[in-house]
């Protein structure tokens, strides 16, 4: 991509917008103008950084109306129909996404992973498998380093492994991964998309430019368009597929290759991720020994059903990464012991009614937090008998917006042998900076309880003392945060 002499607008000053502007300046753009409707210390700091490099930055009320640009770059956190973007589109300014732009500078083959759930784990697994096979691997996208920053090293890599959200796929034109992986699709982000068809079409863009000789690794249960790439199917729910999960065994083309019990991951949803990594290993013709070693030594990242402590016989699990219904569903199904569920957060327009029977079956009680707490209380706490599948009514409790108090309440409702599970099913931006912030605060609360129990103090006193310090950290989302972290 030659941007020399071009006047380019970058919309959004999150981390992706910041790195996109850096990349354009480094590649010789005549001018780069960055626009963000937000304000605050983080944005001001980023603005100072870019101005020092020669960019023009417009924040908040200073955003101008000029439309004389050769190209506009859209950050994934900015909705294409938002006024910031719509004004340039109406003026006829060509617009591509940050991800599309970065891909045009990538000098190595790309393996791209999307899906509603499991993207990050699969991205990590694929990278580990390729590294174990002796390849030089970069990892970026919706995980860690933005793609616009990672492409600088792509000439020294054999492959770039990318986690890709639907937001990043919305403005695709030429992006063509050598391997595209689509894991699953369940309702999410219906506050951005008018319906599931729109969400699905955004996901399909991962295959849009693939050609014969490329590969598409897809779940056999997905409704997909006709694919030009060679298709490899996987499934963990009994459907015919090239790679399957049967009796606890990962199989490839009918041959058992690895017992999941040898790995640190559990359950069919994790088997889906492992099968995708095995399919990549087949494509790159990696040795079975190195692949098995990589899968066996990999440990799950934080905030994914992470065991964080035990207090008086109650085990606490941090599944803050569960920002949609399907992730909550999979977390609940992984427990045999009764669960006290902490759920709720920002309203994304999702329908939690289908979860009623499972919540009734798996939980001793539910503690509801954040923006969604009243809606979930009305739905689950007043569920008709027909929706409860023969289980008793769901005990719903209002945990409010005091997170430490909600955790304290969950602990009092649990009995020895139970699990307290933070699996919100919602994004975090009503109370926290990110799902990581939410999970980190949960872990800190639980670890404080563990320490106080060791000192023979009452758990209520421990969390009460911690509540004040945490209260100051509860902040709403602003445009200076990284909105793509929960984009799926």
Question: Rounded CA gap, 94 and 1, in Å?
Answer: 14
Coil vs helix vs strand at 396: strand
Examine the residue annotation and report whether 119 is marked as an active-site residue of this protein: yes
Task: Give every CB contact of residue 347 below 8 A, 6+ residues apart in sequence.
Answer: 191, 371, 372, 375, 426, 430
- C-alpha atoms less than 13 angstroms from C-alpha of 113 in its C-beta half-sphere: 29
Q: How many Cβ atoms are within 10 Å of 397's Cβ, its own excluded?
A: 19
Q: Which of 119, 182, 303, 485 is catalytic?
A: 119
Q: Which of 171, 189, 346, 397 is catalytic?
A: 189
Angle between helices 288-297 and 119-132 (to 10 degrees): 140
- Token pair recorded at residue 83: 């006024």
- DSSP-derived letter for residue 478 is -
Question: Percent helix, strand and coil across the chain, each rounded to 5?
Answer: 40, 20, 40
Question: Rounded CA gap, 369 and 146, in Å?
Answer: 31
Nearest of 326, 348, 354, 343 to residue 186 by alpha carbon:
326
Burial 228-251 (b: 16+ CB within 10 A, else e): ebeebbbbbeeeebbbbbeeeebb
Q: Which of 142, 205, 219, 318 is catalytic?
A: 142
Sheet holding 314-318: strands in order across?
Answer: 306-311, 314-318, 419-422, 339-343, 363-369, 396-400
Unique residue bearing structure tokens 């509540």: 467
Question: Rounded CA gap, 145 and 16, in Å?
Answer: 9
- Phi, psi (rounded to 5 degrees) for 400: 65, -150
User: Are the C-beta atoms of residues 324 and 186 closer than 8 Å to each other?
Assistant: yes
Question: Rounded CA gap, 456 and 158, in Å?
Answer: 55
Unique residue bearing structure tokens 């109650």: 314
Nearest of 146, 102, 141 to residue 3 by alpha carbon:
102
Nearest of 78, 163, 74 to residue 115 by alpha carbon:
163
Catalytic residues: 119, 142, 189
């Amino acid at each position: 991509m030659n941007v020399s002499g071009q006047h380019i607008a970058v919309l959004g000053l999150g981390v992706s917008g910041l790195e996109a502007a850096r990349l354009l300046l480094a590649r010789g753009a005549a001018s780069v103008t960055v626009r963000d409707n937000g304000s605050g210390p983080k944005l001001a700091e980023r603005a100072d950084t870019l101005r020092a490099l020669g960019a023009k930055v417009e924040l908040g009320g200073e955003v101008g109306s000029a439309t004389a640009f050769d190209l506009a770059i859209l950050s994934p956190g900015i909705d294409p129909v938002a006024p910031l973007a719509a004004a340039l589109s109406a003026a006829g300014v060509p617009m591509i996404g940050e991800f599309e732009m970065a891909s045009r500078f990538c000098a190595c083959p790309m393996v791209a992973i999307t899906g509603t759930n499991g993207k990050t784990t699969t991205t990590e697994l694929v990278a580990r498998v390729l590294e174990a096979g002796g390849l030089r691997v970069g990892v970026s996208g919706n995980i860690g380093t933005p793609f616009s920053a990672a492409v600088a090293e792509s000439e020294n890599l054999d492959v770039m492994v990318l986690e890709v959200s639907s937001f990043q796929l919305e403005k695709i034109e030429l992006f063509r991964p050598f391997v595209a992986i689509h894991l699953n699709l369940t309702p999410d982000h219906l506050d951005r998309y008018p319906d599931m068809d729109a969400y699905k079409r955004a996901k399909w863009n991962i295959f849009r430019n693939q050609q014969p000789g490329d590969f598409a690794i897809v779940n056999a249960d997905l409704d997909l368009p006709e694919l030009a790439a060679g298709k490899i199917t996987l499934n963990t729910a009994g459907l015919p597929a090239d790679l399957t999960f049967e009796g606890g065994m990962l199989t490839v083309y009918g041959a058992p290759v690895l017992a999941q019990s040898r790995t640190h991951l559990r359950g069919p949803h994790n088997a889906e991720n492992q099968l995708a990594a095995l399919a990549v290993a087949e494509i790159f013709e990696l040795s079975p020994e190195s692949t098995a070693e990589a899968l066996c030594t990999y440990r799950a990242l934080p905030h994914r059903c992470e065991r964080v402590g035990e207090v008086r016989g109650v085990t606490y699990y941090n599944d803050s990464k569960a920002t949609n219904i399907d992730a909550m569903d999979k977390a609940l199904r992984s427990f045999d012991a009764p669960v006290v569920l902490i759920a709720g957060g920002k309203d994304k327009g999702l329908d939690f009614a289908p979860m009623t029977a499972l919540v009734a079956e798996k939980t001793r009680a539910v503690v509801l937090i954040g923006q969604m707490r009243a809606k979930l209380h009305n739905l689950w706490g007043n569920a008709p008998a027909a929706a409860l599948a023969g289980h008793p009514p769901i005990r719903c409790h209002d945990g409010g917006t005091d997170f430490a108090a909600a955790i304290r309440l969950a602990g009092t409702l649990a009995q020895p042998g139970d699990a307290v599970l933070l699996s919100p099913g919602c994004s975090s931006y009503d109370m926290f900076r990110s799902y990581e912030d939410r999970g980190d605060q949960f872990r800190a609360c639980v670890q404080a309880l563990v320490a106080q129990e060791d000192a023979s103090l009452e758990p209520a006193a421990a969390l009460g003392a911690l509540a004040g310090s945490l209260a100051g950290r509860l902040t709403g989302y602003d445009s200076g945060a990284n909105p793509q972290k929960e984009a799926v």
